[in-house]
Amino acid sequence: MTAGEPVEDAQGRLPAEVGRSLADIARSNGLRQVGGRPRLGAYVSALVERRHFVWVLSRSQAYAQNQDSYLGQAWNILNPLINGAVYLAVFGLVLRTDRGVDNFIAYLLVGIFIFQFMQRTLTMGSKAVTSKLGLVNSLQFPRALLPISVVLTELIVLLPTVAVLLVLMPITGEPITLWWLALPGAVGLMYLFGTGAAFILARLVVEVRDLANLVPFVMRAMLYFSGVFFSISSYTSGFLGAVLEYQPFAVYIQLVRTCVMVEADPSWQLWTAGAVWAVLTLLVGFVYFWRAEAKYGRG
C-alpha cells in the first residue's frame, strides 16, 4: 500500500466476509446500530435501567449547588427564609397586596416558595441538555435522563424549603390539619408537570439556543400573573380571571395553599386541573423530547 492510493475494497473484512455488504455483516452478527432513535418502549426501559444514575446525579447536583460557600448546606434553609423575608417586606409592608387574604404571611410564603421551585425547574430544565454537553459528548445514555435529573435535583432542593414552610405555618397561626397529608400529592403533581415542561424546553433550546435567553422574561411575567403575592380572585374576574387561575403556575401554588391553609378551599376543579396539567405535559413533553433523541449532541 502506498500513500494516496484509495483504500482497497476489503475495508477490514475477513476472507469469509469478503463480498458481503457492511450492513449485512453487522446484522448477521447481531450488532446494534449506534445512535438513532430507539422505540418508545425500549427507550422507557433504558431509562428505568439507569434510574440509579439519575438518583445519584440529582443528589450530587443538589448537594453541589451550595457546596461552594462557607455555610454550605445551611443555605438550603437560609435561602427560603431570607427570600420570604424580602417578599414580606415588599408586599406585606410597603405595597400591601393583601386584599381578600386573612393570613397574608402564610399566603405569601407558599406563593414564593412554590413559585421559586417552578421558576428554577423551568430555567434549569431549559438548559438540561445544552449545559451538559460534556457528558452528552462522551457517554451514550438516553438523553431524557438529563431533564429528569434536573427536575429531580430541584425537587430535592425543595424538600428543606417545604420543611421550613411546615415549621412556619403554625407560627403564622395556621392549624395543623389532615389536609397536610395531601401535600405530597400536590408537590408530586407539580413535579410531574415540571418534568414534562423541562422535556419540552430542553428540546426547544437544543433546536434554537436563543430561546434560553427568553425563559427569564417568561418567568418574570409568570411571577406577576400567578397570584404569588396577591389573590387572583380578589383582583380579577370573568374570563381573564379564569385563565389566570387555571394556568399551571397558579394551579400548583393554589393547590399547595389548599393543603396547608384553612382559608384556601380545596376544590375538585383545582385538583383536576393539577392532575390534567401534570399528565398532559409529561406525556406530550416526553414524546416530544424522545422524537429528537438522535439530534442531541450534534454540535
Partner 1 sequence: MAETAGTTQTTPTAPGAAPDARDAADLAGRPVLVVDDVHLSYKTFGGRRRSGSKLPGWARGVGQGVGAVDTVHAVKGVSFVAHHGESIGLIGHNGSGKSTLLRAVAGALPVTSGAIYTDGIASLLGVSGALINNLSGERNIILGCLALGLKPKDVRRHYEEVVDFADIGDFVQLPMSAYSSGMGARLRFAISTAASPDILMIDEALATGDAAFKARSQERIDEIRERAGTVLLVSHSMNSIRETCDRVLWLDSGVLRADGRPDEVIDAYLESQRAKVEARKTAVEVPADGAAPLRSTKPPFFVGAPHVESRLEGRNGTWSPIWATSFRYQWLADGEPIPGATAKRITLSQAQVGARISLRVTASRDGFLDGTATSEPSAPVTLLPPLVVTEQPGLVVLPRVGATLEGHDGAWAVGGAEAADGADAAAGSGEPVEPVVHHQWLADGEPIPGATERSFTLTADQVGTRVSLRVTATRDGCADGTAITLETDEVRA
| 207 sits near partner 1 (criterion: CB under 8 A) | no
Q: Which class for 144: exposed (0-12), middle (13-18), buried (19 or more C-beta within 10 A)? A: buried
In the set 75, 141, 271, 288, which binds partner 1 (CB under 8 A)? 141
1 near partner 1 (CB under 8 A):
yes
Assess 208 for contact with partner 1 (CB under 8 A).
no
Applying CB under 8 A, the span of 90-98, 99-107, 130-138, 212-220 interacting with partner 1 comes to 130-138
Torsion of CA 166, 163, 257, 110, to 10 degrees: 110
Nearest distance from residue 214's CB to partner 1, in Å?
A: 16
Residues 6+ apart with CB under 8 A from 264: 254, 257, 258
Cα dist from 19 to 6, 13, 15, 24, 256, whole Å = 18, 9, 9, 10, 67
CB of 58 to partner 1, least distance (A): 11
Q: 150, 152, 191: which is closest to 277 by C-alpha?
A: 191
HSE, side-chain direction, 13 A CA sphere, residue 276: 10
Provide the minimum distance between the beta carbon of 4 and partner 1 in the complex, in angstroms, as a whole number: 7
- Told to check if 39 binds partner 1 by CB under 8 A, we report no
Specify whether the CB–CB gap between 136 and 44 falls below 8 A. Answer: no
Does 11 engage in binding with partner 1 (CB under 8 A)? yes
Is 237 a residue that touches partner 1 (CB under 8 A)? no
Asked whether 97 and 91 are in contact (CB, 8 A), the reply is yes
- Nearer residue to partner 1 within complex by CB, 92 or 297: 297
Write each residue from 56 to 85 as x if it is in contact with partner 1 (CB under 8 A), else as -, in one continuous string: xx--xx--x--xx-----------------
Residue 217 in contact with partner 1, rule: CB under 8 A:
no
Which residues in 18-37 contact partner 1 (CB under 8 A)? 22-23, 25-27, 29-36
Interface residues toward partner 1, by CB under 8 A: 1-5, 7-8, 11-14, 17, 22-23, 25-27, 29-36, 49-50, 52-53, 56-57, 60-61, 64, 67-68, 134-141, 209, 294-299
